[in-house]
């Protein structure tokens, strides 16, 4: 077992196949945690699980479509059984497109809400059942600044992430006496595969350039910078912190 401040602890990271989720999984592993990665694409979760294992801890890959209650319970149960328990849950799974509200279908809205809000609710339920029975734990929800201030072209996504923020605060109050801390990280624009794809698309490139100019630090975040904040909330350094929402956005959002 690797040493480190999280040695011996067991983490589940949803949406861990790439981007921020992958960075979180690898950072927690580097701090000594065993990590189960949940995402829909088998190839991605297996690759990240191998990268986690290369850090001297257990890496588990679980393929699951985290948009339904049944799939979340199956995936979370598989992760818990493989790890032997869940000390930390990072709800990172998310998905959206940037499109005008009046051009979006109800099916699209439902999928955005299912993945971004319901997925977090369902995975949290499974984790809390174990944590409460076994003396506590930590949950970190990865939402978005869109959920705090709104974003044009992402209305329903913003609503779903706003729901994740409210879920964080409400459950933090309810679960504090059960020794479960729950906090929320809201990334601003981050250098992920999705951003790279959008930057290569002329329809989105100019919007991204304008967005970067609005960031006081004049750059987007690196996934590792988000992962470091998630790790802080997972660690004992934040042992007296719960129910908090922290933007990591280079100053783009100051609330």
Quote the pLDDT of residue 212. 87
Its pTM stands at: 0.94
- 157 is an active site residue: yes
8-44 confidence digits (pLDDT tens): 999 999 999 999 999 999 999 999 999 999 999 999 9
pLDDT band at 2 (very low <50, low <70, confident <90, very high): low
| Structural domains of the chain, ranges and CATH numbers in brackets | 10-191+223-240 (3.40.50.720)
Q: Give Cα separations from 178 to 130, 136, 181, 192, 254 (angstroms).
A: 12, 6, 9, 36, 32
The alpha carbon of residue 177 and the mean position of all alpha carbons in its chain are separated, in whole angstroms, by: 24
Query: Active site residue: 13, 59, 67, 157, which one?
Result: 157
Place of tokens 């850090």: 55
Q: Which two tokens stand for residue 132?
A: 């409460």
pLDDT at 1: 47
Question: At CA 239, angle to CA 91 and CA 230, rounded to 5?
Answer: 30
Q: How far apart are CA 187 and CA 245, in angstroms?
A: 10
8 Å CB contact between 147 and 162? yes
């Amino acid at each position: 077992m690797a040493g480190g401040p999280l040695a011996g602890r067991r983490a589940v990271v949803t949406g861990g196949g790439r981007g921020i989720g992958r960075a979180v999984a690898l950072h927690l592993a580097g701090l000594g945690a065993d990590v189960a990665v949940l995402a829909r694409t088998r190839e991605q979760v297996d690759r990240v699980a191998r990268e986690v294992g290369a850090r001297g801890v257990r890496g588990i890959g679980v393929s699951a479509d985290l948009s339904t209650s049944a799939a979340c319970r199956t995936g979370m149960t598989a992760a818990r059984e493989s790890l032997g328990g869940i000390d930390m849950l990072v709800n990172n799974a998310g998905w959206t497109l940037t499109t005008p509200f009046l051009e979006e279908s109800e099916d699209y809205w439902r999928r955005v809400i299912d993945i971004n809000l319901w997925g977090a609710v369902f995975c949290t339920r499974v984790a809390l059942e174990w944590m409460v029975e076994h003396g506590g734990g930590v949950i970190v929800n990865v939402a978005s600044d869109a959920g705090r201030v709104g974003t044009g072209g992402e209305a329903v996504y913003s609503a779903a992430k706003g729901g994740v923020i409210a879920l964080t605060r409400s459950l933090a109050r309810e679960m504090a006496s059960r020794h479960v801390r729950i906090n929320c990280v809201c990334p601003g624009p981050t250098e992920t595969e999705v951003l790279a794809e959008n930057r290569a698309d002329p329809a989105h490139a100019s919007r991204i350039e304008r967005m970067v100019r609005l960031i006081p630090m004049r750059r987007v975040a690196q996934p590792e910078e988000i992962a470091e904040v998630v790790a802080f909330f997972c660690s004992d350094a934040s042992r007296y912190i719960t129910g908090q929402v922290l933007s990591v956005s280079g100053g783009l959002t100051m609330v």
